[in-house]
Amino acid sequence: MRKLIAAAVVLASTVAPSLPAMAATARPDTYVVSRAEGVLPEGIAVTPAGTMYVTSAGTGAVYRGNTRSTELTPFLPPGTDGRTRAAGIHLDGRGRIFVAGWDTGTLFVYHPDGSLVAKRVAPLAGAALNDLAVTDDAVYVTDSGTGTLWRATTTGPRVGELTPWLTPADFPQAPGFLNGIVVDGRVALVADQGTERLYRVDLPRRKASVVEVAGGRMAADGLLLEGNRLYGVVNFPSGAGEVAFAVDLAILDADRRTARVIRRSAPASLDRSPTTIARDGSRLLWVHSQLNNPSPAPPFTVTVVRGLR
């Protein structure tokens, strides 16, 4: 889910190192998630084989397709299992599908065949589960509503209950809108769009500190971490009172305590309102949610991010 940010961003001029060349394949630049009204797609996950999953913030549905085909189809119907809203989505090493249920306050976990594995409710009023990151033994979920970072164990076939891993008091400043999250070993990077900060979370010690960001900010919606390269979907003033969206690329230090924003993608307009990103081979894909469009209309799409790899 998206929170708009109103301050300007200045980018450094340093050129980013190139990604390794990857073989080109004939894949579409635009994917149709749905042609139905009110879908408002939000989260995306893409497997190495090219299977794409996209959630619906509007209905709670989950759509599935392949990056070689332009059309996605319904995979998990809207409203089933109480899933009336859906935000972040990720898969674990078993192929299980983890879905953050936004203001339902619920984490849903599904088998690859679509059968329900677990349904875990955050035991706090006002919880809004936004994004998540899956590790070998746990899933971590950001809560935009209460400022809590939740954790559930995933060891073996069982998914544990949601436990508050960090409370608002555990952050240097009480979060205003926790959003994107990525995990690298024992460290998580968590974006707070409310305070416009990026936090480094030592997961075993359950301790958060501020990442010093130069050349811009990484208070992002969706985050993607690849080595020392951190991608984030941000929004910013584009002039004449308008807001635009882009993917910013930052280079992290080895200990994940500093970040330097070095590059920005081609922008997207407010009515498109991209939310989050996923890697598909040499390309980045982002979801056009239309969440900030006063008159959202189908088709709802996923497209290639331009001007950045």
Mean pLDDT for the chain?
A: 92
96-114, pLDDT tens digit by residue?
A: 999 999 999 999 999 999 9
Measured between alpha carbons, how far is 2 from 263 in angstroms, rounded to an integer? Answer: 21
pLDDT > 90 in the chain, percent: 87
DSSP state of 110: E
63, 56 Cβ separation under 8 angstroms: yes
pLDDT at 7 over 50: no
pLDDT at 288 over 80: yes
Residue 141 lies in a domain: yes
Residue 52 lies in a domain: yes
Structure confidence at residue 14 as a pLDDT band (50, 70, 90): very low
Task: State mean pLDDT over 37-49.
Answer: 97
Residue 15 lies in a domain: no
List 68's β-bridge partners, or say none: none
Output the pLDDT for position 20: 39
- Beta strands at 258-264 and 212-214: parallel, antiparallel or unpaired: parallel
In angstroms, how far is the first alpha carbon of the chain from the final one?
Answer: 23
pLDDT at 23 over 90: no
Domain that holds residue 233: 39-304
Burial 161-179 (b: 16+ CB within 10 A, else e): ebebbbebebbeeebbbbb
Measured between alpha carbons, how far is 2 from 233 in angstroms, rounded to an integer? Answer: 10
Which candidate, 143, 222, 175, 61, places its Cα nearest to that of 152?
A: 143
Count of structural domains within the chain: 1
Output the pLDDT for position 201: 98
Query: Domain containing 163 — which CATH number?
Result: 2.120.10.30
- Beta strands at 129-134 and 138-143: parallel, antiparallel or unpaired: antiparallel
pLDDT > 70 in the chain, percent: 92
Output the pLDDT for position 3: 64
Residue 132 lies in a domain: yes
Residue 156 lies in a domain: yes
